[in-house]
Chain A
Amino acid sequence: MMLLRLLSWPYLRRHVLRWTLTLAGIVLGVAVFVAMHTANRSIFSAFDKTIDQIAGSAQLQVSAGEFGFDESILERVQAVPEVGVAVPVIEANVETKIPGQGSILLLGIDMTGDRSLRDYELKDADDAIIDDPLVFLAQPDSVMVTKEFAERNKLEVNSRVPLLTIDGEKQFTVRGIMSSAGMTQAFGGNLAVMDIYAAQQVLGRGRRFDRIDIRAKEGITVDQCKAAVKAALGESFEVETPSARGRHFEGLLRSYSTAMTISSLFALIVGMFIIYNSFAIAVTQRRSEIGILRALGATRGQIQRLFFLESITAGFVGSALGAFAGVGMASVITTYMSTVLEQTTGFAQRVTELAIDPKLIVAGIAIGVITSIFAASIPARSAARVDPVQALQKGKYQVLSAGENRRRRRMALTVSLISVACLFLSYSKLFFYAGYVLMIVAGLLLAPALTLLLSKCLRPILKQLLPAEGTLAADSLVQAPRRTSATVSALMLSLAMVVGFGGFAHSFYTSVGEWMDNALNPDFFVSPSANLVVRAITFPASIRSVIEHVAGVDQVQLVRNARVSFRNVPVMVLAIETEKVSGTVHRMPVAGTTEEMNRLTGQGKGMMVSDSFAQIHTVRMGDIVELPTPSGLLKLPIVGIVRDYSDLQGSLLIDRSVYTKWWNDDTANVARVYVKKGEDVGVVRQRVIDALAGHHGLLVLTNREVRDWIMKLIDQWFALTYNQIAVAILVAVLGIVNTLTVSITDRRRELGVMQAVGGLRNQIRRTIWIEAFSIGVIGLVLGTALGAINLYYSLGMVKRDLGGLDLDYIFPLAFVAFMIPTILAASFIAAIGPAESAVRGSLVEALEYE
């Protein structure tokens, strides 16, 4: 402790800038980690809370995926003797047309029975409604909104609220304002209650419900009641407690949160390199100090402890700041993430409060401190090994000993051999990830030797270009491999991550592009909403003939899709008109033959699944998939595996005839429309719009609009990760600043000599810039190489654990081409500060500098 105050503090004070940069690495890593997890938890807990609050005193909920079920099921449930109260519910996110409000959760309930489960505490209402709910029923445009929503939008009883319905934008009248605490908080207060039969109408649901909420009869336990209802309905219905239902959503979002965790870990790893770099530099700079200490009788242990204490302090300060910043960032990220999730999965959620978990903050700080200790451990050990005699001599320090180099290379070779061996065993998850980690470790072990090699290769080139400046810059790199290689490693790692991720994104965009070309080729799409993942509104099959009768229309294909629970995870089921679709869509099969799979699916003898579904649920051709339907368990074999990106969690394709039969429903939510050859698409589209005008508020989206919309979704999905990559690059650039700052301190005298023998200030600046550029170039070369490997593993990881997408390996050339100027420009910017401080300051002092 004494040593820490005596030695570390003055050193720290002299190098404030560098330590600030070092801490920035930890701060960023921990902040991203804490922010991501807080955002994740906040969203999950908002989901749970909303479910819980809307459930009222319901103990069990009966559902059958998003497709819903026939009204007759209600009677069957009510007939179960163990059931006390059973009421129907329709639940949907609909868009409000109030500016800035986005979507609102619309709850359709049966006013007569529902109040025994839910208390609406009507604060403000027509007396008539409070006395007699039937009045509410009598007017189908009635809604009740929460007090919060009313206050936010200055609504009163009899105010009008515009909502998007099957008939387009429609005005509803506020008949009551709810002030019950529970209801008001659900969905951030954006909740509207409507009569269930009115809801069926405005959402185009036909005579179907989404859910039945149940309370058990007095004296009957929840479990008894659940068993009884299950027995009455058969296994194709889910009968669950409200909280169990919330867990399904977590399954749905898992891949997103995993991706987030992984990228925040990357930020931490890069941060770790910066710490390593700073400590390695500190150890070399303080060699003579350490030498003196050792000469004065300090033990190796004491020296090592000194550096450990420093790293713990740095780690703690950085992590605490990071955790603090993370909590600050969390609310922004939460808002962003919930938007992305709503847009891509259709599950909207409004997060009103952050779920800040003290355990998470402790974990974040612990991770930061451990990272910091880990990063400092090698420099601390080499500090302890400093030989007092050598350290007190001036001159060659820093040089990596040949033995150390050889040891590193041998280790790198062994590690990469093991890693390659792991590839052969990569069907096992453990071996796959072990191989991945080892490959990165091998890269890091090799980095110093390769840096040295590349610097030596660069020297003659630079010498040719700018004899004085170039040679000196290259020599500076060669001379201090430790200083250089830690930065290069950090840069390499960030770039490897960028290339891996960019390659994944590129492959994904390419693959989605192909899929859109093949499968999404109708001339236009008819849908109730511009947002195709919103499935709250459906339309009757009769729309088909309306469109088909429009002159110029060649074919109409109806699609009905929704999530259904499969092995307790909601998966996307698409009911398509297989025969028609097979005439217009030519998918490349991943397994099976196109003809066979289309024929069997069309005949209702099987289903096609997306490769991601097959991967996530580890199913193969011929396996039987069981889906719960209102008419019982639907069992169909997998007759084909195809690429399909309708949903990121994978999708199932069944024939529309199967859907109508088993779900007893013939509504649709999208109509795919093909125009006759030779007809003008724009003209036909206008005709369709005119034809639909009298019927419903359906939108006619062009192919371009749908493609752009999908691309926008993917962009959004990737955006947050892009930002994290930017953070990683930023951290790596901070590393360059760090290295250069030290480099000019180390070379003060050299730069002074250069000026004394006639070097102009610009020539000195150029030396620093060239050094920075060289670090950038070497980092680029090594980063691209490691990136090519990382991409292989990234794609493997995506396939195994992140959505099961099986993507082709496409090296992202354009992306790398874009990174080259970016990194070089960043290196240049990193060099500005150090270069200026190199030309400033006293020459005389620089020449005397030891």
Chain B
Amino acid sequence: MISLSHVSKVFEGKRKATALEDVSLEIAKGQVVSIVGPSGSGKSTLLNLIGGLDRPTSGEIRIEGENLAELSDDDLTRVRRDKIGFVFQFFNLLPTLNCLENVALPLHLRKWPRKKIEARAKELLNLVQLDHRLEHLPDELSGGERQRVAIARALSVYPPILLADEPTGNLDTHTGQEILKLIEDLHSRLGSTILIVTHDLEVANRCFRTVSLRDGRIVEDRRR
């Protein structure tokens, strides 16, 4: 499903920073993997590379066998939109669009027919238990609700892969738990491959597999 071989990422600039160094990783279909490590260890960088938001300095990343390095920017976007859903720590909802519109955005970008879009968006908001907040703007929601909208948006196309960068980092413990339960729930329904970056060991422990990073290298890869 996802395969990284000898991936390095170096940020050139005034101060050269090596964010990832020689990372190789295989993730099979349907696995739920947590990525842990201290701040600055390269977790977000790893996720961004897998999600095709950025390109590695060296090494190879394959998503379902397709080599991301060989794709043009637009093709990369196509892979991302067909296969990958993103959940961010700071939600990244568009403030001017209401919940329904936010969830529908990726579908519109894929030029789905209107009817289908509305049905799907409602279905997903229903799934995250926000069917009573369709017309609300992100400003009018709580943090947990916003993250639920973000998850609904990420899953709107039923992506085979879900990438979540500290989805609970900005929420209190209780709400964090709920979000996590939601993700697990969705996993069991849709069977997606899920990568969660987290600081929370409890979260990590609930996952099937935990990858630990330090200074840009994998120091531990533990399966339960």
Query: What separation, in Å, do the CA atoms of A476 and B94 have in the docked complex?
Result: 11
Closest to A751 in B: B94
| B109 contacts A758, C-beta separation under 8 Å | yes
Mark interface residues in A742-765 (1 if CB within 8 Å of B CB, else 0): 000000011011111111111100
| B92 contacts A847, C-beta separation under 8 Å | yes
Contact A758-B96, Cβ < 8 Å, known A843-B53, A843-B54, A844-B54 = no
| A755 contacts B97, C-beta separation under 8 Å | no
Query: What separation, in Å, do the CA atoms of A475 and B93 have in the docked complex?
Result: 14
Query: What separation, in Å, do the CA atoms of A759 and B157 have in the docked complex?
Result: 13
Task: Judge whether B104 is part of the interface by a CB distance below 8 angstroms.
Answer: yes
Task: Judge whether B42 is part of the interface by a CB distance below 8 angstroms.
Answer: no
For chain A, residues 456 to 474, give those with C-beta under 8 angstroms from any C-beta of chain B: 467-468, 471-472
Q: Which of B80-88, B191-199, B202-210, B211-219 contacts A (4 or more CB under 8 A)?
A: B80-88
**Chain B's nearest CB lies how many Å from the CB of A674?**
71
| A842 contacts B109, C-beta separation under 8 Å | no
Task: Judge whether A297 is part of the interface by a CB distance below 8 angstroms.
Answer: no
Query: What separation, in Å, do the CA atoms of A757 and B101 have in the docked complex?
Result: 13
Task: Judge whether A594 is part of the interface by a CB distance below 8 angstroms.
Answer: no
Task: Judge whether A255 is part of the interface by a CB distance below 8 angstroms.
Answer: no
For chain B, residues 67 to 81, give those with C-beta under 8 angstroms from any C-beta of chain A: 73-74, 77-78, 80-81
Contact A467-B108, Cβ < 8 Å, known A756-B51, A844-B53, A847-B88 = yes
**Given B53, B73, B117, which contacts A847 in the complex, CB threshold below 8 Å?**
B53
For chain A, residues 421 to 480, give those with C-beta under 8 angstroms from any C-beta of chain B: 467-468, 471-472, 475-476, 478-479
| B109 contacts A761, C-beta separation under 8 Å | no
For chain A, residues 749 to 787, give those with C-beta under 8 angstroms from any C-beta of chain B: 749-750, 752-763
| A753 contacts B94, C-beta separation under 8 Å | yes
Contact A468-B105, Cβ < 8 Å, known A475-B96, A475-B97, A479-B96 = yes
**Chain A's nearest CB lies how many Å from the CB of B115?**
12
| A471 contacts B53, C-beta separation under 8 Å | no
Task: Judge whether B122 is part of the interface by a CB distance below 8 angstroms.
Answer: no
| A760 contacts B77, C-beta separation under 8 Å | yes
Contact A760-B92, Cβ < 8 Å, known A475-B97, A847-B53 = no
Contact A842-B86, Cβ < 8 Å, known A395-B139, A759-B77 = no
A contact residues around B88 at 8 Å (CB)? 847
| A468 contacts B109, C-beta separation under 8 Å | yes
Most B C-beta atoms less than 10 A away, residue of A468, A476, A758, A844: A758
Query: What separation, in Å, do the CA atoms of A396 and B140 have in the docked complex?
Result: 13
**Given B78, B101, B106, B110, which contacts A471 in the complex, CB threshold below 8 Å?**
B101
Task: Judge whether B181 is part of the interface by a CB distance below 8 angstroms.
Answer: no
Task: Judge whether B136 is part of the interface by a CB distance below 8 angstroms.
Answer: no
Mark interface residues in B116-155 (1 if CB within 8 Å of A CB, else 0): 0100000000000000000000010000000000000110
**Chain B's nearest CB lies how many Å from the CB of A471?**
7
Chain A interface category by residue count = 20 to 34
Task: Judge whether B6 is part of the interface by a CB distance below 8 angstroms.
Answer: no
Query: What separation, in Å, do the CA atoms of A756 and B78 have in the docked complex?
Result: 10
**Chain A's nearest CB lies how many Å from the CB of B44?**
8
Task: Judge whether B170 is part of the interface by a CB distance below 8 angstroms.
Answer: no
B contact residues around A478 at 8 Å (CB)? 96
Closest to A846 in B: B53
Mark interface residues in A188-218 (1 if CB within 8 Å of B CB, else 0): 0000000000000000000000000000000
Contact A756-B53, Cβ < 8 Å, known A467-B108, A475-B96 = yes
**Given B80, B82, B108, which contacts A756 in the complex, CB threshold below 8 Å?**
B80
| A760 contacts B78, C-beta separation under 8 Å | yes
**Chain B's nearest CB lies how many Å from the CB of A341?**
56
**Given A475, A756, A758, A761, which contacts B92 in the complex, CB threshold below 8 Å?**
A756
For chain B, residues 27 to 67, give those with C-beta under 8 angstroms from any C-beta of chain A: 48, 51, 53-54
Query: What separation, in Å, do the CA atoms of A757 and B51 have in the docked complex?
Result: 10
B contact residues around A749 at 8 Å (CB)? 92
| B114 contacts A467, C-beta separation under 8 Å | yes
A contact residues around B105 at 8 Å (CB)? 468, 754, 757
B contact residues around A755 at 8 Å (CB)? 77
Query: What separation, in Å, do the CA atoms of A842 and B97 have in the docked complex?
Result: 24
| B54 contacts A758, C-beta separation under 8 Å | no
Most A C-beta atoms less than 10 A away, residue of B86, B109, B110: B109
| B54 contacts A842, C-beta separation under 8 Å | yes
Query: What separation, in Å, do the CA atoms of A753 and B85 have in the docked complex?
Result: 12
Query: What separation, in Å, do the CA atoms of A755 and B153 have in the docked complex?
Result: 13
Query: What separation, in Å, do the CA atoms of A467 and B154 have in the docked complex?
Result: 18
B contact residues around A396 at 8 Å (CB)? 139
| A757 contacts B109, C-beta separation under 8 Å | yes
**Chain A's nearest CB lies how many Å from the CB of B55?**
10
| A754 contacts B53, C-beta separation under 8 Å | no
Query: What separation, in Å, do the CA atoms of A842 and B49 have in the docked complex?
Result: 12
**Chain B's nearest CB lies how many Å from the CB of A478?**
7
Query: What separation, in Å, do the CA atoms of A448 and B93 have in the docked complex?
Result: 27
For chain B, residues 144 to 174, give those with C-beta under 8 angstroms from any C-beta of chain A: 153-154, 157
A contact residues around B96 at 8 Å (CB)? 472, 475-476, 478-479
A contact residues around B81 at 8 Å (CB)? 757-759
| B101 contacts A761, C-beta separation under 8 Å | no
A contact residues around B108 at 8 Å (CB)? 467-468
| A761 contacts B54, C-beta separation under 8 Å | no
Most B C-beta atoms less than 10 A away, residue of A395, A763, A847: A847
Closest to A842 in B: B54
| B153 contacts A757, C-beta separation under 8 Å | yes
| A844 contacts B106, C-beta separation under 8 Å | no
**Chain B's nearest CB lies how many Å from the CB of A768?**
15
Query: What separation, in Å, do the CA atoms of A842 and B114 have in the docked complex?
Result: 31
Mark interface residues in A558-597 (1 if CB within 8 Å of B CB, else 0): 0000000000000000000000000000000000000000
Given A475-B94, A757-B106, A763-B109, 19 extra CB contacts under 8 A: A467-B108, A468-B109, A472-B94, A472-B96, A475-B96, A753-B93, A753-B94, A754-B94, A756-B53, A757-B153, A758-B77, A758-B81, A758-B82, A758-B157, A760-B109, A842-B54, A844-B53, A844-B54, A847-B88
A-B pairs with beta carbons under 8 Å apart, 23 shown: A396-B139, A467-B117, A472-B97, A476-B96, A478-B96, A749-B92, A752-B92, A754-B109, A756-B51, A756-B53, A756-B80, A756-B92, A757-B86, A757-B105, A757-B153, A758-B80, A758-B82, A758-B106, A760-B77, A761-B77, A763-B109, A843-B54, A844-B54
In the complex, the 9 A-B pairs of residues with the closest C-beta atoms, listed nearest first: A758-B81, A475-B96, A468-B108, A467-B108, A757-B106, A843-B53, A753-B92, A468-B109, A759-B109
Task: List chain B positions with a Cβ less than 8 A from chain A.
Answer: 48, 51, 53-54, 73-74, 77-78, 80-82, 86, 88, 92-97, 101, 104-106, 108-110, 114, 117, 139, 153-154, 157
